[in-house]
Amino acid sequence: MGVDIAQAALMSGRAVVATGRNTDAVADAIGEADHLLVVGLDVTSLASAETAVQATLDRFGRIDVLVNNAGNFHAGFFEELTPEQIEQQLMTSLIGPMNVTRAVLPVMRKQRSGKIVSISSTAGIVGQEFCSAYAASKFGLEGWMESLRYEVEPFGIRTTIVEPGFFRTTLLEKESTTYAELSIDDYAERTAQTRPAWEAMSGKQGGDPSQAREGSGHRRRRGAAAAALGCRR
């Protein structure tokens, strides 16, 4: 999803800063362009976010749009997920966007303009079994973004929450999905049925990630064709 939108932004003549922990993989996925900067970023580290922001300012001098699009999926029943797995989920999908936004906001406040887009999920509005950790991170993201709206609007900063349905992203691939480490007898039968079903969905989701459009103002965009902006997911 992020790759498609980054490429679309480049094609429209906009400067793009594409971020990821593996910069070689990001560069290979997006390609080359005069107005593209690839920067290393671990969203779980505020220091890493601050370094990425400074690199952006050094190259382009300003930041007009921030897209919080990093994500992973810790799948499993709550009791079978370890506390460490739940913490990892929250660090990537909730604290991560907070870290990057915290690093960017001083720039946007100084400009008195900007836009913050955070990629949520239908799991941010409707919970379901096997998704308790993921839904917790997305419900938290929604509450934070809704509150942030009122805090930053006086500075000319707009916000958007995107709630996609199932897109054919890498979220369900082995690199992005981690299944519960623990095994509890009472959940065993349901786990044996549910995990293969999730694994079978990878690459077969109905949503096309290239169908992405930018929203405006603070609003939600929902459904399988909802917009998503960004450089990484």
Question: How is the chain split into domains, by residue range?
Answer: 64-223
pLDDT of residue 224: 29
d(Cα 48, Cα 40) in Å, to the nearest integer?
8
Q: Cα 22 from chain centroid?
A: 16
Q: Is 120 a catalytic residue?
A: yes
Can you read off the two tokens belonging to residue 73? 């999926």
Q: Is 179 a catalytic residue?
A: no
Residue range 149-158: mean pLDDT, rounded: 98
pLDDT digits (tens, 9 = 90+) for 189-224: 999 988 787 777 655 445 455 554 444 345 554 432
Q: Which of 105, 108, 89 is nearest to 43 (CA)?
A: 89
Catalytically annotated residue among 93, 118, 120, 137: 120
pLDDT digits (tens, 9 = 90+) for 54-89: 999 999 999 999 999 988 899 999 999 999 999 999
Catalytically annotated residue among 48, 93, 134, 187: 134
Say what percent of the chain tops pLDDT 90.
Answer: 64
Burial-class residue 16 by CB neighbours within 10 Å (0-12, 13-18, 19+).
Answer: buried
The class that CATH gives domain 64-223 is alpha beta
Q: Is 174 a catalytic residue?
A: no
pLDDT score of 94 more than 70: yes
Range with the lowest mean pLDDT among 5-9, 125-129, 148-152, 164-168? 164-168
